Chains A and B, each alone.
Chain A
Amino acid sequence: MNDAVLKADNLQTYIGHHHILQGISFEARADAVTVLIGRNGAGKSTTLKTLMGLLPPSEGVIVYNGMNIQGKRPYEIARMGIGYVPEDMGIFADLTVEENFKVAKLKEDEATAGRLDRILELFGALGKFWHAPAGNLSGGQKQMLAIGRAMVNNISLLLIDEPSKGLAPIIVEALIEAINQIKEECVVVLVEQNFYMASAVGDYFHILDDGRIVHSGRMEALVDDEELKSRYLGISKSKS
């Protein structure tokens, strides 16, 4: 069970003069959801962007399925089977839902069509607004589109950046369910600030603080560790 699909080692990333990632190392294991948690500005999104090749790390190694993908361009990384859902969802608002999927599809074969069917089954709302401009969708629908779009290709790793951001609790519930289904098909690395969602889907966690990973372990352990939670996540023991 110790086969890591993705292994990041000592990632150092600068944005301008700012040293954002100061040595991030972690693994995403097969058949599991790995959650990166931490405060705003801790470097969670930067980590995903660095993995995706959108930000070049100045140092470090990223091994995916046994290959070093560090230094490859984002489109090469995407073609190796990594899906990415950015924090702002990256919806093409002017394009219809259908066109969003068209842009996302790398192949037009039966397997892709089959995956698309399953995605539409999972996110029923997308079918309803198939010909509507994606910009008109609600926040939750946009998130579903973003995730569905990323999964239309044959991917083995899905990177999702804060899917619950700005969504109503009931939609977060639906997302949790969806991600729990998705993890049957591919490995998921999730960035999440919403601890409820993180604990509901995550198997492993890594806490980031100031561009470093300060704690790692199984999610069950974190759920019970009030001291850790309050120190790094700002979650105090609920009194009620």
Chain B
Amino acid sequence: MLRREQRKKRYYSIGFVLPCLVLALFVLIPFLGPSYKTLDLALKIIIFASLVASFDIMLGYTGILSFGHGMFFGIGAYCVAFLNGKYGDPTYFHLFLGLLLAVAVACVLALIVSLISLRVKAIFFAMITLALAELTIVLANKLSHFTGGEDGISISLPGIFSAAFSPGSFLGLDISGRVITYYFILLACLGLFALMLRFTHSPLGRVLQAIRDNTDRAEALGYKTFYFQTLSIVLGCTVAAMTGGLYAMWVGYVNPESTLEVMAIMLNVLLMVIIGGMGTLYGGIVGAAFLLITQTFLPDLQKLAIDLFPNASLLHTILERWLLLFGILFILVVIFFPKGVVGSAREFIARARGEAFFSS
């Protein structure tokens, strides 16, 4: 009886309703916004939200900072690109194999990195992943006959995903390969997100949080922290590679410049996770939406500023260097709102209700 009551209460809670509304929005977007720009933005938010969530598994839930997450994203993208761009006509099998390859490579690499770096100190992980990420960029450029060099690799997708596929329209929406790809990626990311939610709410996830809060204590309780940390790293990196593969499907093109600009991706992911809120998973959606929407409309904002204040050249310079503003925002959030938007909002609601309604 009580359980049912509780469950009922949960369905009405903001923590349940809000994500559902967000999901509904993403489902409806192809119907609402016919422009490619909107669809592209929505999809990038979906992919980055998943990527940030996978980063959050490591950072927020395990307390491990990686600078190689961009690298795993890039690896995933390349794996899909190889099998669907380089070798013959792509089939569904190629696509599946590409994603599988992304998972496998990420798994193995994540395992190796954890084995090397976790032996000493968790901060080594940050340094070593940074080093490896740089090495990967160099390698990708050096092995140009393999990675397509600066020209990159174009991807063609099989069957219903291909841009040429066009079976007709549904409720006023032109069903095209693009739209199908959009829904496919949305579904895949939803699956990944559900997997990560399940993981963090499982007993395993709770052990990870215990390790994050007090490694020595967790060790004293008999947990082999090393295994748990490795597990979390492997999961996080694998999901990152998956999202990379999905991203490659969408943009249809990878090259070291864009996909392996891992530091830029890393920077975005960090900004997103901090602004959205560490250790919340949902923070990724907020952070990704905020950052990507701002970045998309920044040129308009700059134009607006020039129109409104034609003489304030300092303002123009600073707006041109939008990253400066994000950097300052980043520092301020870390100092004053270390829980980010989602964490702070949860705290606020919990306090307003006088109860900890979100216990994770």
Contact = CB atoms under 8 A, between A and B. Distances in A.
Do the two chains touch directly in the complex (Cβ atoms below 8 Å apart)? yes
Interface of A: 16-17
B213 interface: yes
Contacts of B214: 16
Interface of B: 213-214
Nearest to A16: B214
Nearest to B213: A16
Nearest to A17: B213
A17 B212 CA distance: 13
A98 B213 CA distance: 39
Q: Dominant SS at the A interface?
A: loop
Contacts of B213: 16-17
Contacts of A17: 213
B289 to A, nearest CB: 33
Nearest to B214: A16
3 contacts: A16-B213, A16-B214, A17-B213
For the complex of A and B, 3 pairs with smallest distance between CB atoms = A16-B214, A16-B213, A17-B213
A16 B214 CA distance: 8
A17 B214 CA distance: 10
A28 to B, nearest CB: 31
A67 B213 CA distance: 36
Nearest to A15: B214
A220 to B, nearest CB: 37
A16 B212 CA distance: 12
Contacts of A16: 213-214
A239 B214 CA distance: 42
A108 B213 CA distance: 44
A55 to B, nearest CB: 15
A16 B210 CA distance: 12
A132 to B, nearest CB: 29
A16 B213 CA distance: 8
B209 to A, nearest CB: 12
A17 B213 CA distance: 9
B114 to A, nearest CB: 25
A20 B173 CA distance: 63
B338 to A, nearest CB: 16
A103 to B, nearest CB: 26
A133 to B, nearest CB: 24
A112 B341 CA distance: 56
B273 to A, nearest CB: 23
A17 B210 CA distance: 11
A93 to B, nearest CB: 19
A16 B215 CA distance: 12
A52 to B, nearest CB: 21
A16 B218 CA distance: 13
B279 to A, nearest CB: 15
